[in-house]
Amino acid sequence: MKLLLNLLLSVIVSTAFAQNKGILHTDQGAIKIDRHIYGHFSEHLGRCIYGGFYVGEANTKIPHTAGVRNDVVDALKKLKVPNLRWPGGCFADTYHWKDGVGPKAKRPTIVNTWWGGVTEDNSFGTHDFLNMCELIGAEPYLAANVGSGTVQELIDWVQYVNFAGESPMSKWRRENGRDKPWNVKYWGVGNETWGCGGNMKPEYYANIYRQYATFMTGWSNDSKIFRIASGANSADYNWTEVLMRDIPLNMLEGVALHHYSVIDWSNKGSSTSFTEKQYFQTMQRALFMDELIQRHSTIMDKYDPKKKVALVVDEWGGWYDVEPNTNPGFLYQQNTMRDAVLAGATLNIFHKHSERVRMANLAQTVNVLQAVVLTEEEKMILTPTYHVMEMYNVHQDATLLPLDITTGSYTMDNEKLPAISASASKNTAGVHISLVNVDAKTSQEVTIELRGGKFTSVTGRILTSGNVQDFNSFDKPEQIKPVAFKGASLKDNVLKVVLPKHSVVVLGIK
Ligand code: AHR
């Protein structure tokens, strides 16, 4: 009985003192939150391209435009996807773009050795992808094959998609039905060259990068070419050090970083059936992004104090075991409130580092890893992660506001995490604050003093659900969706917010 009382008391005390306080300087802020940190990633992997984005033009009841699903395009338009990375991932360093242009019936097949060993018929190629980006309103980000390609192949690709004048490649593009160039700005020079992209050492890759980067210019309005070096695997700080040291700044616009929130690569756990401990561990890995960016940025600052080169987190997200009875090589997983919290907290971290992190890509858009959209034949559902990306899109290209916040802790087995993740920005529509309660057990009260203006109204939306394991299924597609938030009040420029456990809230204040 005494034990029970003590337990009750400790719960009451911890709830009562779950105090989180902050000051928001609404009249300050000099840095833009680049909309490109809201980018996505589409790889020839599992059902991401085939069945996800693309259903082909023949024998399908699914409404499409030139084979691309209309429902997916509409959903991504609403998300305001700023850029889309393609064709990989590991697939990119096996991909020869010339296989994917010209009459579809004549295209060669290849085997997708990285992802399930399936036959790739190349029916979705460069034209299909770039035209799809135009439909979505996203800028394309092409990942070039460095691992098994050639410099000439890349020169030809840049020339094919970007050259306006007369040249062998622009002639071929026109013969294949496209007159005007697409003017692709973002180019990845290899992917994970420390691993699936060629198992290179950083010194070797830095040299290779210099060689490839040299020949990429001259085919378009050069000031538009944005070359992204294949970056570090999580905490491999030496990789960034060597790249920044060995590649001249005038040859480099971005350096990548990949970090997945995985509990244990040999035992990743189910995407839907997990314990609170596993949830906590996933959040530890997700919040580690802050330290990672800080440390990679410190290295970049040494060689690039003016922050000319962007840190491009072009693969991030949660990675779990594949859904039962699905191909292990297809990386199909469900998406719960855990992923919504992960996404909200990660985006807040990117905002915080806006000066250096100017582009990022969630892995991956449809049917793979932390997808925003899942499809099953003609059905399509939006995941909790989709809703977070949509709620947060008010921050795209807005001015980051300094928000000093002191947060309580979310504890588990003597380990602690900050309970609250937050960020704020302003644009012509007003000030927006995004708040995440990482705590899976306890609601949190947050008090924010608003400085630098007079504010009288607050509105908002919340994404949450009874259990952190909840998800949207094809039977219950709207189990989790944003609703109006009633838990915020504003008086005398002091904002008080009560955030339910594992919730994501975006507020607008005026
Ligand atoms: O996103 C899945 C894979 O993860 C990508 O192909 C690769 O770059 C990374 O290892």
Residue-level pLDDT at 12: 46
Sketch the domain layout of the chain as residue ranges: 2-29+402-509, 33-397
Nearest CA to ligand 1 atom 6: 89
Task: Decide: 88 in ligand 1 pocket, CB within 6 A.
Answer: yes
DSSP string, 348-380: HHHHHTTTTEEEEEES-SBSSSS-SEEEETTEE
Residue-level pLDDT at 137: 98
Task: Decide: 89 in ligand 1 pocket, CB within 6 A.
Answer: yes
> Per-residue pLDDT for 18 more than 60?
no
Task: Decide: 191 in ligand 1 pocket, CB within 6 A.
Answer: yes
pLDDT in tens, 88-143: 999 999 999 999 999 999 999 999 999 999 999 999 999 999 999 999 999 999 99
CA torsion through residues 163, 168, 169, 175, sign = positive
For the chain, the average pLDDT equals 95
> Per-residue pLDDT for 4 more than 70?
no
pTM of the model: 0.94
- Residue whose pair of structure tokens reads 């005007």 in the numeric block: 180
pLDDT in tens, 131-182: 999 999 999 999 999 999 999 999 999 999 999 999 999 999 999 999 999 9
Ligand 1, residue 363: give the atom nearest the CA.
1
Look up 192 and say whether it is catalytic.
Answer: yes
Beta carbons of 424 and 403 less than 8 angstroms apart = yes
Residue-level pLDDT at 218: 86
pLDDT > 70: what percent of the chain?
Answer: 96
Residue-level pLDDT at 19: 79
* Residue 72 to residue 65: CA distance in whole angstroms: 11
> Per-residue pLDDT for 496 more than 60?
yes
Residue of 44, 115, 257, 315 to test ligand 1 pocket, by largest number of atoms within 8 Å of CB: 315
Amino acid at 417: L
Beta carbons of 43 and 368 less than 8 angstroms apart = yes
Determine which helix (DSSP H) or strand (DSSP E) holds 134, and give its type and residue range: helix 126-136
Look up 134 and say whether it is catalytic.
Answer: no
Task: Decide: 90 in ligand 1 pocket, CB within 6 A.
Answer: yes
Residue-level pLDDT at 10: 43
Task: Decide: 147 in ligand 1 pocket, CB within 6 A.
Answer: no
Rg (CA), the chain: 23
> Per-residue pLDDT for 407 more than 50?
yes
Q: How many other β-carbons are positioned within 10 Å of the β-carbon of residue 16?
A: 9
Residue 206 CA to ligand 1 centre (angstroms) = 21
Residue-level pLDDT at 13: 41
Residue 90 CA to ligand 1 centre (angstroms) = 6
Residue 194 CA to ligand 1 centre (angstroms) = 12
Four-way CATH pick for 33-397: 2.60.40.1510, 3.20.20.80, 3.30.1380.20, 3.40.50.150: 3.20.20.80
Beta carbons of 446 and 509 less than 8 angstroms apart = no
**3-state SS assignment for residue 244:** helix
Q: Which CATH class is domain 2-29+402-509?
A: mainly beta
Residue-level pLDDT at 3: 47
Ligand 1, residue 41: give the atom nearest the CA.
1
Task: Decide: 43 in ligand 1 pocket, CB within 6 A.
Answer: yes
Residue-level pLDDT at 59: 76
Residue 91 CA to ligand 1 centre (angstroms) = 8
Nearest CA to ligand 1 atom 4: 89
pLDDT in tens, 207-247: 999 999 999 998 887 778 999 999 999 999 999 999 999 99
Tell which wins on pLDDT, 8 or 360: 360
Work out the average pLDDT over 16-22: 71
> Per-residue pLDDT for 452 more than 90?
yes
> Per-residue pLDDT for 16 more than 50?
no
Residues 504, 76, 224, CA angle at the centre, nearest 5°?
105
Task: Decide: 42 in ligand 1 pocket, CB within 6 A.
Answer: no
Q: Which of 16-20, 393-397, 431-435 has the lowest mean pLDDT?
A: 16-20
CA torsion through residues 72, 128, 178, 149, sign = positive
Residue 97 CA to ligand 1 centre (angstroms) = 19
**3-state SS assignment for residue 340:** helix
Confidence at 14, pLDDT banded by 50, 70, 90: very low
Confidence at 493, pLDDT banded by 50, 70, 90: very high
Task: Decide: 315 in ligand 1 pocket, CB within 6 A.
Answer: yes
Residue-level pLDDT at 149: 97
Residue 407 CA to ligand 1 centre (angstroms) = 34
pLDDT > 90: what percent of the chain?
Answer: 94
Residue 315 CA to ligand 1 centre (angstroms) = 7
Q: What percentage of the chain's residues is helix, strand, coil (to nearest 5)?
A: 30, 30, 40
Nearest CA to ligand 1 atom 9: 89
Ligand 1, residue 192: give the atom nearest the CA.
8
Task: Decide: 314 in ligand 1 pocket, CB within 6 A.
Answer: no
Work out the average pLDDT over 32-55: 98
Residue-level pLDDT at 219: 87
* Residue 106 to residue 87: CA distance in whole angstroms: 20
Q: How many other β-carbons are positioned within 10 Å of the β-carbon of residue 214?
A: 12
Catalytic residue of the set 43, 120, 315, 445: 315
